[in-house]
Amino acid sequence: MGLAVVAAGAAALVTLALGPAGAAAGATPGTAGQAAAGTARPEARTFSNPVLGPGQDPSVVTYRGWYYFTQTSPQSNYITIRRARSIKSLAAAPKTVVWRGGTAGSPCCEWWAPELHFVDGAWYIYTTADNGNNNNHRLQVLRARDPLGPYTYKGQLTTPGNHWSIDPSPLQLPDGRLYLMWSGWPDDVNGVQNIYIARLASPWMITGPRTMLSTPTYPWELHSGSVPVKVNESPEPLLHGGRVFATYSGSGCWTPDYALGLLSAPVGANLMDAASWTKSAQPVFKSNPAAGIYGPASNGFFTSPDGRQTWTVFHAVNDPNGNCGLERDVYAQRVTWSANGFPQLGGEPVPITTPLRVPSGDPGAP
């Protein structure tokens, strides 16, 4: 996701962040990679989902011809990153453990939904953890000079009011201003999760108040079965064509109705004013029962290795009743753009029998 906020293509407001030598994150691979792309067999240039295998809460970044992939670990007490030249080989790439819960005074448990971002010359993992009690979930930040570490613990990223908070994702505007989006409780009682935004004074410190951008109100957001919790979570910002977009996940992840909504605002608007934002009345990405794919959400965005395309990664299940357990798989699908500049995620996941072309600049797999 680079900074997880930048759309590919000529209409993008900014390019992916620059590395230490000034190369664009997501730059075209070197000569060897280009040669491989020119000689790969046609079938090496396609893949079928779920391309990234079992898992949940995916985050993918392209940087200097490499893909980097992190997600919630099965035990939720450590964080791993995988690296590969092609999306087709990313699931099988070795895992590098970059953090273990309890290290350097960090919380022990439930390290959920890590996201990898390059901000102002350094790599950050934005995530959440607690002390073994879910009521104490708070945002956490790790920092490194290289995406594979070593990482240092920057501490808890305390939100205004210090309430239960998960799913942090940063947004950086072309003028350099930093914001943070996350999902949290309005107070200290479970029952509803809202989407919030606040300004960042630094990549690990919020300044000023929070603004609620979305609370579950539309019928599609209110599915929770027998669990008395209303859910908006996992905001994922994206910049394109003079607008700020943010997908978010609505309804309970334990239901087949778990889906993605969309928030949008002009890039020049006051993003701390909720009135600047428009919310989709219908989900923009939802289950595909005909294909047996349910609950496609908790997504992220990344650009193709050559920076020309925007892609999304998300998890989903094949359980028609929905499922929030370890039965989830990770899919990738290309994002296109409507005539008015809004992201088009495809409406639903394509069937797993449908071959998809690898992202542009991806050499494929032999």
Residues annotated as catalytic are: 57, 233
Angle at alpha carbon of residue 352, lines to 350 and 357, rounded to 5°: 70
Residue 85 per-residue DSSP state: S
Residue 207 CB burial class (10 angstroms; 0-12, 13-18, ≥19): exposed
Place of tokens 């664009």: 24
Total residues belonging to the chain: 366
Instruction: For residue 63, give the nearest of 34, 13, 11, 20 by alpha carbon.
Output: 20
Task: Report the b/e string of 302-336 with b at 16+ CB within 10 A.
Answer: bbbbbbbbbbbbbbbbebeebbbeeebbbbbbbbe
Tell me how far CA of residue 84 lies from CA of 68, 81, 89, 308, 342, in angstroms.
Answer: 7, 10, 6, 19, 30
Q: In whole angstroms, what is the distance from residue 9 CA to residue 28 CA?
A: 14
Q: In whole angstroms, what is the distance from residue 165 CA to residue 232 CA?
A: 12
Instruction: For residue 173, give the nearest of 262, 247, 237, 236 by alpha carbon.
Output: 237
Residue 349 per-residue DSSP state: P
Question: What are the phi and psi torsion angles at 335 (to 5°)?
Answer: -105, 130
Residue 317, strand partner residues: 294
Angle at alpha carbon of residue 230, lines to 329 and 69, rounded to 5°: 30
Tell me how far CA of residue 18 lies from CA of 27, 79, 175, 338, 343, in angstroms.
Answer: 9, 24, 15, 28, 24
Let me know how many helices (H) and strands (E) the chain has, helices first: 2, 22
